[in-house]
Amino acid sequence: MRLLALGLFSLLGLFGDLAAAVRTKVDLVNLTPDIRPGEKALIAMRFRCDPHFHIYWKNPGDAGQSPTVEWQEKSGATVGDFVWPGPKMLDQSGVYNFVYEDETLLLMEVAVPAGAKGALTFKGKAEWLECDDSGCWPHDKQVELTVQVGTGNVAYKYNPKLYPALRARLTTTATSDGKTLTVAVPAGEKLPQTWFPERGFIAPTATAKQKQAGGNIVFELADATEKLDSGELIFTTKAADGGFVDIKAVVGGAPAKAAPGPASTPTKTTGEWQPWSPEAQAKALAEGKTVYVDFTARWCATCQINKRVYTQGDVAQALSSAGVVMLKADWTKKDEVIAQELGKYGRTGIPLNVFLKAGQPPAILSEALTGTEVLAALKSVSEGKAYQAETTTHSFFIWMLLAFGGGVLLNLMPCVFPMIGLKVLGFAKEAGASRRTVVLNGLLYSAGVIASFLVLALLIIGLKSGGSSVGWGFQMQSPGFVLGTCVLMIVLGLSLAGVFEIGTGLGGVSAGDGDGRTATFLSGVLATVVATPCTAPGLGAALGFALDKDRSTAETLLFFTVIGLGMALPYLLLSVFPRLAAMLPRPGEWMESLKQGMSFPLFGYALYLLWVLNALVEDAGWVRDASLGLALIATACWVLGRWGALHRTDRERLTAKLTSGALFIGTLAYLYATLP
């Protein structure tokens, strides 16, 4: 029961994140009026937060995540990393974050190609975490900017004094006795403001409670993440003119001469997500850094729930303090390189989260992440110890048990949750039926689940034999499949809510209505369809073993059969052992309430699928049309329920069926015909 409650709360939290309104406007702006070939120009990512909302600096503090951008088009230009303005301190009941409010420009330096002519287009996906006092919500948006090579470009005004990297850097000295860090204020400078560490070498609490003693700034080191007895530390603070300036403090050494700020933009700090590529991974490992790779996708519901771990203050701080290079391998769309990389870890699906360090075996984490596990794996990797790396040394029997257990646990995953209440309704309705009928329905439902898994296995085997790199959940990379599933969830949800009646056959799929054997079988098919975006603990490794090139077709089919048996087991047990089903309340009014209530998880899942579509299809106009199309489909269902009911005249019912059918089919035909 506790696991079921945990799954429910996770699902509600996920849908709360996905359905949250975007409270930050994000776009690209140009800062350079004259753009010349072979020279440098400036553009910026502009964030405009609603009142009481904020986003995060490059060092977010106790919690949070800095904005990122992943470029899809740059017209041959080279775009540097963000140049950050100075932040402000935000105290939320002792949780200290370094943030931006209102309007913020994150500058980027552009190296214009020497032979550039005409227009330069910059297109990418911005991702950010926006928060207020009630919570945090991750968002992303496709942004685009087109400028002309030459004069006359509209330039957005900005204040260069706010960007310490664009100003001369001050230098000073610092000393540490292990308990405190004492930094001398540069001679002749008036810097009474808070000094922000550009990375988490001191705790945010120490930043908030820093003290001024004479001509020094003193920080407590009780929660320091590094041994600060030598080396260079960079702070950002407000200057006397109201802008921001960087200060380089040499710990245990003599001060260096003041040097101008870097001509190019600074290197990305750790703690920021960067796009994964084999080259980026190899470079970081060659530099001796610890690498964390998150193989993820929008359609992977388990992946989205896992991301909540990264917003935990202790996890974010540990990753940043250890200098971990964080790479995101986004498999939302088909990507052969990512698929091949998954294969190196014995996986054919996601989620997959792994720590890497040169000379050490990979530390592969569980499919369902926890902050405790991430911290434990990071500690093991940092100490040069192996951490539960997945192997293929299990016996065939053990792999079969993992497949069976993963199938059982799929019932607790958020993708399958909308189906649980529907099956409870079905068993409650069968309370007065003969045992033969109940057992037969349980067997038919199980057959639907197993048959669906076998069809999925055959599809994967066929596609892989044709040279495609596919795996668990591959169909979610198809916009057409996602659109169809989204429509199905809307239609079933409206039927459960009582807007209209689908009919005996399909109605049984949605709510156990009728005793049609076809409906019972199809309910098992539907449960499998909605299960594929999720991966239960242990199932990812078992699927990788089942789909390994060394497995025969018969072995692969056997594995998928076992997974299906595991998923169908709870309902099969309720059917075979009527005493278990007798524990359910007797049929009554509660069934109608539960039936209507279960429509909302289906609507929530439809919203989630629409969010997935937004990533699969870059055409914002089509996504807008799809949203309107779902409203038209809902209208068609309402027309059928309003005027197609049995108490209406034959003419009214015929008109309702023709009207709703034309609206439904016409809308679907348009959406699929225009699908990018």
The string of DSSP letters for 576-627 reads H-HHHHTTSPPSSHHHHHHHHHTHHHHHHHHHHHHHHHHHH---HHHHHHHH
Angle in degrees, CA 455, 456, 457, rounded to 5: 90
Asked if residue 415 has pLDDT above 80, the reply is no
Q: What is the pLDDT of residues 68-117, one digit of tens each?
A: 999 999 998 999 999 999 999 998 777 889 999 999 999 999 999 988 88
Whose structure tokens read 């989204």? 486
Lowest mean pLDDT among 13-22, 280-289, 308-317: 13-22
What's the pLDDT at 254?
45
Tell me the C-alpha distance between 96 and 111, whole Å.
37
Question: What sign results for the dihedral spanned by CA atoms 517, 591, 18, 499?
Answer: positive
Tell me the C-alpha distance between 46 and 25, whole Å.
8
Q: Which pTM was predicted?
A: 0.49
* Residue 91 falls in which region: left (phi positive, over 0), alpha (psi -120 to 50) or beta: beta
Tell me the C-alpha distance between 130 and 522, whole Å.
41
Whose structure tokens read 């920080």? 219
Q: What is the mean pLDDT of residues 485-505?
A: 76
Q: What is the mean pLDDT of residues 427-456?
A: 76
Q: With pLDDT > 90 as the criterion, what percentage of the chain qualifies? A: 22
Q: With pLDDT > 70 as the criterion, what percentage of the chain qualifies? A: 80
Whose structure tokens read 């700034």? 217
Lowest mean pLDDT among 204-208, 370-374, 551-555: 551-555
Tell me the C-alpha distance between 601 and 607, whole Å.
10
Q: What is the pLDDT of residues 542-597, one digit of tens each?
A: 666 666 666 778 878 888 888 888 888 887 887 777 666 566 656 566 667 777 88
What's the pLDDT at 537?
60
What's the pLDDT at 405?
81
Whose structure tokens read 């309370």? 431
Angle at which helix 517-531 crosses helix 435-465, to 10 degrees, equals 40
Q: Kindly indicate the confidence band of residue 515, based on its pLDDT and cuts at 50, 70 and 90.
A: very low
Q: Kindly indicate the confidence band of residue 432, based on its pLDDT and cuts at 50, 70 and 90.
A: low
Q: Do domains 24-158 and 164-251 have the same CATH topology?
A: yes
Q: Kindly indicate the confidence band of residue 49, based on its pLDDT and cuts at 50, 70 and 90.
A: very high
Tell me the C-alpha distance between 243 and 412, whole Å.
53
Lowest mean pLDDT among 95-99, 355-359, 424-428: 424-428
Tell me the C-alpha distance between 462 and 671, whole Å.
28
549 CB burial (10 A radius; 0-12, 13-18, 19+) = exposed
Tell me the C-alpha distance between 162 and 573, whole Å.
66
Tell me the C-alpha distance between 558 and 561, whole Å.
5
What's the pLDDT at 223?
74
Collapsing DSSP states into helix, strand and coil, what is residue 49?
A: strand
Please identify, in words, the CATH class of the domain defined by 24-158: mainly beta
User: Of 326, 536, 287, 258, nearest to 410 (Cα)?
Assistant: 536
Q: What is the mean pLDDT of residues 42-57?
A: 94
Q: Kindly indicate the confidence band of residue 338, based on its pLDDT and cuts at 50, 70 and 90.
A: confident
Q: Which residues contact 100 (CB under 8 A, 6 or more apart)?
A: 47, 49, 54, 55, 56, 57, 85, 87, 88
Q: Kindly indicate the confidence band of residue 227, based on its pLDDT and cuts at 50, 70 and 90.
A: confident
Between 472 and 274, residue with greater pLDDT: 274
Q: Beta-carbon neighbour count of residue 268 at 10 Å?
A: 17
| Length of the chain in terms of residues written | 676
Is residue 625 within 8 Å of residue 676, measured between CB atoms? no
What's the pLDDT at 142?
92
Domain assignments of the chain as residue spans, ordered by start: 24-158, 164-251, 273-382, 396-616
What's the pLDDT at 123?
94
Lowest mean pLDDT among 127-141, 320-334, 530-544, 605-619: 530-544
Collapsing DSSP states into helix, strand and coil, what is residue 10?
A: helix
Q: Kindly indicate the confidence band of residue 418, based on its pLDDT and cuts at 50, 70 and 90.
A: low
User: Of 595, 626, 622, 670, nearest to 487 (Cα)?
Assistant: 626
Right CATH for 164-251 from 3.40.50, 2.30.230, 2.40.50, 2.60.40:
2.60.40
Q: What is the mean pLDDT of residues 299-310?
A: 83
Helix H, strand E, coil C: the string for 164-179 is: HHHCCEEEEEEEECCC
Whose structure tokens read 């990533």? 615
Select, from the ranges 322-326, 534-538, 553-557, the one with the highest average predicted confidence (pLDDT).
Answer: 322-326
Q: Kindly indicate the confidence band of residue 162, based on its pLDDT and cuts at 50, 70 and 90.
A: very high
Asked if residue 509 has pLDDT above 60, the reply is no
Between 501 and 168, residue with greater pLDDT: 168
Asked if residue 639 has pLDDT above 80, the reply is yes
Tell me the C-alpha distance between 507 and 641, whole Å.
13
Asked if residue 455 has pLDDT above 60, the reply is yes
Q: What is the pLDDT of residues 648-670, one digit of tens each?
A: 888 888 998 899 999 999 999 99
Asked if residue 10 has pLDDT above 80, the reply is no
What's the pLDDT at 108?
94
Q: Kindly indicate the confidence band of residue 467, based on its pLDDT and cuts at 50, 70 and 90.
A: low
Q: 273-382, what's its fold?
A: Glutaredoxin (3.40.30)
What's the pLDDT at 528?
78
Query: For residue 250, what are its two tokens?
Result: 């040499």
End-to-end CA gap in the chain: 44
Tell me the C-alpha distance between 138 and 158, whole Å.
26
